[in-house]
Amino acid sequence: MHVVENKSSVLKGKMPNPEDILNAMMKIMQEERLAKGLNYEDFSAAAGLHRTTIPRYENGSVVPTVLAAIKMAQALNMNFSEVMIQAETFCKNRNP
């Protein structure tokens, strides 16, 4: 059985805000989409998502499901876990 020593030791390492991580993740994928020259229509077709949802995910007006985010990463030939690590690292470095 795993036992946590105490809450204060767990909370010492401040984690980035989840919304900031999500925003960074979407920005990373948006930059990759643009670098590959993909418009919303081509990208959404490759990801299997509706064309109008992509800009809403990218501008933060709609939160993608984990499944949608994985599909987006895969459509860009990116590993979803690497996108998450990049986003988390960006947020930690921005707010040390």
What CA–CA distances, in Å, run from 46 to 14, 71, 76, 84, 86?
Answer: 37, 8, 8, 20, 22
Q: What is the pLDDT of residues 5-60, one digit of tens each?
A: 444 434 446 788 899 999 999 999 999 999 999 999 999 999 999 999 999 999 99
Task: Select the more confidently predicted residue: 34 or 92.
Answer: 34
Domain range summary for the chain, segments of one domain joined by +: 16-94
What CA–CA distances, in Å, run from 18 to 2, 50, 75?
Answer: 25, 25, 23
What is the rounded end-to-end Cα distance, in angstroms, of the chain? 33
Q: Give dist(CA 26, CA 73) in Å, integer.
A: 10
Is the domain spanning 16-94 CATH 1.10.260.40? The answer is yes
What pLDDT shows up at residue 40?
97
pTM strictly above 0.85:
no
- Estimate to the nearest angstrom the gap between the alpha carbon of 46 and the chain centroid: 18
